[in-house]
Amino acid sequence: MVYRSFASRVFFARVPFLSLLALTLLLLSLSAQSSPGAHGPNGEHLDMEQSNQPTQRPKFEMYTESFEVLGEVFSNELIIYLHDFETNTPTQSASIDLEIGSLTASASFDEAQNRYIVNDVNFISALNVSGEHEVVATIITQDNGDLLVGKFIMPEANAQLDNAEHSHNESHEQGEEHHLFPWWALGLSIVVFAFGFFFGRKNKGMKS
């Protein structure tokens, strides 16, 4: 009985220390696991986006006696700037229908940026295929209408870059899911520490 009493006192006396040690180790391990991305020799993130290196986006131009069109192709959208050919002033609220091969898409007017946007997934994917494409635009305004035809070339390097951006975004989203902080583990550790601290103080009171 004396041995059991002594062992019990020793155990509860060490519970606060052991709980604190376990809590510290858990927080350190979670902190290491929640740091996404590999690091280079100088500590930099190897998977960081090089946002400070601008990429020249592929463009195409079409014009007639009535309109001038400038299109800028991105991986997820097509931006179109429409101007009056003679005055070079922006043409607003026009109806723009585009064709590439057997695919068609309509552009919506962005009044805030004074431009037109096409975000049809299939149409944009076709534009991002490397090679030469023929683009046909049908433009109708309140006072005029015209048909424009132009050539657009998607360089192979830009097509590969767009695919790499898609892959990076998908892997980044998946990585964020894996690096969510397990708050339940932190709460459990705090409960264990409080439990050990309470019984440690209670044991000290019994000894005194």
DSSP classification of residue 66: S
Q: pLDDT tens digits for 59-102?
A: 999 999 999 999 999 999 999 999 999 999 999 999 999 999 99
- If one compares 62 and 160, the residue with the highest pLDDT of the two is 62
Average pLDDT, the chain: 74
Annotated domain spans of the chain: 59-168
- If one compares 191 and 112, the residue with the highest pLDDT of the two is 112
Radius of gyration of the CA atoms of the chain, in A: 32
Fold of the CATH domain 59-168: Immunoglobulin-like (2.60.40)
Q: What pLDDT is stored for residue 56 in this prediction?
A: 73
Q: What pLDDT is stored for residue 110 in this prediction?
A: 96
Place of tokens 């009985």: 1
As a three-state string, the secondary structure of 74-106 is CCCCEEEEEEECCCCCECCCCEEEEEECCEEEE
DSSP classification of residue 65: S
Mean pLDDT of 37-64: 61
